[in-house]
């Protein structure tokens, strides 16, 4: 009975977040026009006219409103989810929002842009959220990642190594994966819905019953779902820098909170992360800045190979959803095999799409 009530609360909160996010998008679109937060055509951009950004603002407001209401009602109280962790999560989102809104208007340099994701990751870590153990792939139990710890009394923060370093790296990777993936209408928002939905499902299961984490995941998923009608092809508004960063950030943090089941989020993001690594290596090989955007990503190569916009998005959504569902039911060794398989598929898919794209070019 308690579990059913938790599921109903999660679904109800997701629905409310979706409605609020959908409504807020109308206001944030007008704000983007008013303040010049526009994405202009040209380069790798597919649109033909200036497009309003700042979609992440409405998503952020929806998350804060629903999380604040749930916390006020005592629905986020849980033994392994402390109020300080929720605060750290929201502070991280606020930092990303500020940096993203500024970047959409001022076009910040890469060296300045990265400051905000770093601060957001540190806010989460200093709130007590971290990857403290990894599961043994061949036996029961796991390995502790807290080899050394020391408390900084000024901030009441206990530094744990290498746990905090791994947590920092994971959050940054997840955050930047969705930022760089945000090249097709609806793609990143949909992946955020899929990832948070899977975390909510895991946290609602009997084996990993964490109703507060499920509720938090439902709120995040609902907030991105509400924005999706505005962002699906042909989009009327973009996530912007803040929204694309928040998508990966929320998935990264939720994966840690749900009993540190990083494998679920990793399965959902495996192909985008693999594509990111391949693209960066390709840029280094071509002696161009690794952080400079181009059209060598898998989703762009699919378009160049003749795949329609909607088909490319549905394909990537489908693979991520299937991988995430499989990860829910697999043991540790199976999850490792799944992630490795997805990495190979990403490399092969990118190569095949590139070959087909070159064949389609007029000689």
Tens digits of per-residue pLDDT, 246-291?
Answer: 999 999 999 999 865 677 888 888 888 888 888 888 888 888 777 6
Domain count, the chain: 1
In terms of pLDDT, which residue wins out, 100 or 142? 100
pLDDT for the residue numbered 115: 97
| Domain limits for position 47 | 2-261
Model confidence band, residue 152 (pLDDT cutoffs 50, 70, 90): low
Residue 341 forms part of a structural domain: no
Share of the chain above pLDDT 70, in %: 90
- Would residue 291 count as lying in a domain? no
Ordered DSSP codes for 32-93: HHHHT-EEPSBTTB--SS-EE--HHHHHHHHHHHHHHHHHHTTTT-BTTB-HHHHHHHHHHH
- Look at residue 346 in the predicted model and tell me its pLDDT: 81
Residue 12 lies in a domain: yes
| Residue 342: band (very low, low, confident or very high) from pLDDT cuts 50, 70, 90 | confident
Neighbouring residues of 202: CB distance < 8 A, sequence distance ≥ 6:
208, 258, 261, 264, 328
Q: Is the pTM of this model over 0.85?
A: yes
- How high is the pLDDT of residue 1? 42
Q: Tell me if 340 is assigned to some domain.
A: no
Instruction: Show the CA angle centred on residue 220, arms to residues 110 and 327, nearest 5°.
Output: 90
Is 117 part of a structural domain of the chain?
yes
Summarize pLDDT for 53-101 with one digit per residue, the tens.
Answer: 999 999 999 999 999 999 998 898 876 788 999 999 999 999 999 999 9
**Is 362's pLDDT higher than 70?**
no
| pLDDT value, residue 46 | 63
- The Cα–Cα gap between 315 and 321 comes to 10
Residue 284 maps to a domain: no
pLDDT at 2: 61
Whether 250 is covered by a domain: the verdict is: yes
Examine residue 45 and state whether it is found in any structural domain, yes or no: yes
| Confidence at 180, pLDDT banded by 50, 70, 90 | confident
Q: Which residues are registered as beta bridge partners of 134? A: 143
pLDDT of residue 151: 64
Euclidean distance between CA atoms 293 and 295, whole angstroms: 7
Q: In sequence order, which residues have a C-beta less than 8 Å from that of residue 108 and are 6 or more positions away?
A: 99, 102
């Amino acid at each position: 009975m308690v579990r059913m009530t938790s599921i109903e609360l999660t679904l109800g909160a997701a629905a409310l977040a979706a409605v609020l996010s959908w409504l807020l998008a109308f206001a944030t679109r007008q704000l983007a026009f008013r303040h010049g937060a526009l994405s202009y055509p040209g380069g790798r951009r597919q649109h033909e006219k200036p497009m309003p950004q700042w979609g992440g603002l409405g998503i952020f407001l929806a998350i804060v409103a629903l999380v604040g209401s749930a916390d006020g009602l005592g629905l986020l109280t849980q033994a392994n989810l402390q109020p300080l962790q929720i605060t750290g999560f929201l502070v991280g989102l606020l930092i990303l929002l500020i940096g993203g809104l500024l970047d959409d208007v001022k076009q910040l340099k890469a060296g300045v842009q990265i400051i905000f994701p770093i601060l957001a990751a540190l806010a989460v870590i200093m709130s007590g959220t971290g990857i403290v153990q990894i599961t043994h792939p061949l036996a029961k139990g796991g390995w502790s990642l807290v080899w050394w710890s020391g408390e900084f009394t000024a901030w009441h923060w206990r530094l744990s190594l290498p746990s905090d370093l791994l947590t920092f790296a994971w959050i940054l990777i997840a955050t930047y994966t969705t930022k760089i993936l945000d090249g097709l209408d609806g793609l990143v928002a949909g992946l955020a819905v899929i990832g948070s939905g899977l975390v909510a499902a895991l946290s609602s299961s009997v084996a990993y019953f964490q109703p507060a984490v499920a509720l938090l995941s439902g709120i995040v998923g609902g907030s991105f779902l509400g924005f999706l009608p505005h962002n699906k092809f042909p989009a009327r508004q973009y996530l912007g820098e803040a929204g694309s960063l928040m998508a990966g950030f929320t998935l990264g943090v939720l994966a840690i909170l749900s009993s540190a089941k990083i494998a679920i989020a990793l399965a959902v993001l495996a192909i985008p992360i693999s594509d990111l690594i391949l693209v960066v290596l390709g840029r280094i090989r071509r002696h161009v800045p690794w952080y400079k955007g181009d059209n060598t990503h898998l989703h762009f190569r699919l378009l160049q190979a003749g795949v329609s916009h909607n088909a490319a998005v549905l394909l990537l959504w489908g693979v991520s959803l299937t991988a995430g569902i499989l990860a829910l039911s697999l043991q540790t060794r199976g999850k490792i095999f799944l992630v490795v398989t997805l990495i190979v598929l990403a490399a092969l898919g990118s190569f095949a799409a590139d070959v087909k794209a070159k064949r389609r070019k007029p000689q």
